[in-house]
A and B are shown apart, each in its own frame.
Chain A
Amino acid sequence: MISLPVVLGVGAVMFGIGLYGVLGQTNAIMVMMGVELMLGASMLNLIGFMRYAWPDAASGAFFVLIVMTLMALEAAVGFALVISVFRNRRTAELDDLTDLKG
C-alpha cells in the first residue's frame, strides 16, 4: 500500500511546489514560504526513511527535530531581515533590491 518510494515521491512533489514558490515569487515572505515547503518535504522524506528503511533507529527522529529547528531559525532570521530591509527601503519586494547586481 504505502512504501518508501511512495513517500519519497510525495516529498519530491512537495519539494517542487516549494521550489516553484522560491523561484517564482517576488516578495521575500512568499519566498520564505517556499523554503518552508521545501524543508517540510525533507522532513517527510526523513520520516519515510525512518518508517520504511530503518524503523528501529531513533536517530531519524533527531534529524527531523533538527530540520524543525532549522525551519524556526529560517523564519526568525528571515523576518528580521524583512523588517530591516523594509525599514530602509519601504518594500519587501526582492526585484527592488538590486544594489549588488553586477
Chain B
Amino acid sequence: MSSLGTALVFWPSAAIMLVTGLYVFRTASMARAGLLLLASLGVEGLIFLALASEFLGVLQLLMMSGEMVIMTFFMVMFMPDPGGLMGMDMTHEKRRSAALAVAVAVGLAVVAVVTDWPAQTLNGEAPDVRQIGFEVMGRSMFSFLFAGITILFAMVGGTLLAKHGGRLGLPAPGGDR
C-alpha cells in the first residue's frame, strides 16, 4: 500500500478506534460498551492491515469479534444494570483516574516523539505468513510451545475456578449450590 493509502486508512481508523475506545467507559449500556470495544479493537485490525501486517490484521479481526461477543454476554449477565436504564454509576475516583490517564498518555506520547528511533524503509515485501510461520516454528519455537502450555493451564485453571463449589468442590457460602 502506498504511503498516501496508508495515511487514508490509518487516520480515520485511529480516530474511530480512540473515540469508540473512550465511549466504552462513557456509555451506560453494557451491551453497547461491549460492542464499542469490539468496534475499537476491530478497527485496530484495519490499522494493522494498513501497516502491512495482513495476517495479524485478519487475526485481530477474527479474535476480537469472538472475544468481545463473549465479553458482551458476560457483561449483560453480571452487571447490576446491563441496559443502563436505572442510571447506576459504576465508576469511582473519576477525576483522579482521568488525570492520571491523561498524564500517562501525554508522557508516553512525549517519549515517542522525542526519542530518536531507528528508522528503516520497507524494502520490497513485508514479512508474509510464510516467514512468520518459519519464525514461529524455528527460532521462537520454545516461546510458542510455552504459550501453548500456558493456554492449556489457563483453560484448566479457568474451568476449575468457574465450576460449582470452586476449585475445592466446596459449597459456596450463601451460594446457589
A and B form one complex: yes
Interface residues of A in 34-81 (CB under 8 A from B): 34, 36-37, 40, 43-44, 47-48, 50-59, 61-62, 64-66, 68-69, 71-73, 75-77, 79-81
Q: Which of A1, A29, A59, A69 contacts B75 (CB 8 A)?
A: A29
Chain B CB within 10 Å — which of A68, A76, A88 has the most? A76
- Do A83 and B161 touch (CB < 8 A)? yes
Given A33-B24, A44-B47, A51-B52, check contact A80 B33 (CB 8 Å).
Answer: no
| CB interface residues, A 17-44, toward B, < 8 Å | 17-21, 23-30, 32-34, 36-37, 40, 43-44
In contact, B33 and A33 (Cβ under 8 angstroms): yes
The smallest beta-carbon distance between A87 and chain B, in angstroms, is 5
- Within B89-120, which residues are at the interface with A (CB < 8 Å)? 90-94, 96-98, 100-102, 104-109, 112-113, 115, 117-120
- Once A and B bind, how many residue pairs between them come within 8 Å at the CB atom? 252
A13–B106 Cα distance when bound, in Å, is: 8
In the complex, what distance in Å separates the CA atom of A71 from the CA atom of B160?
A: 20
- Within residues 152 to 177 of chain B, which ones have a CB less than 8 A from any CB in chain A? 154-155, 157-162, 164, 166, 172-176
- Let me know if A95 is at the binding interface, CB within 8 A: yes
B122 beta carbon closer than 8 Å to chain A: yes
Question: CA of A56 to CA of B92 in the docked complex: distance in angstroms?
Answer: 45
> Given A59-B135, A84-B161 in contact, is the A40-B100 Cβ separation under 8 Å?
no
A17 touches B63 (CB 8 A): no
A17-B21, A80-B162 known; A55-B126 Cβ under 8 A? yes
Tell me the A81-101 residues at the B interface (CB within 8 Å).
81-84, 86-88, 90-93, 95
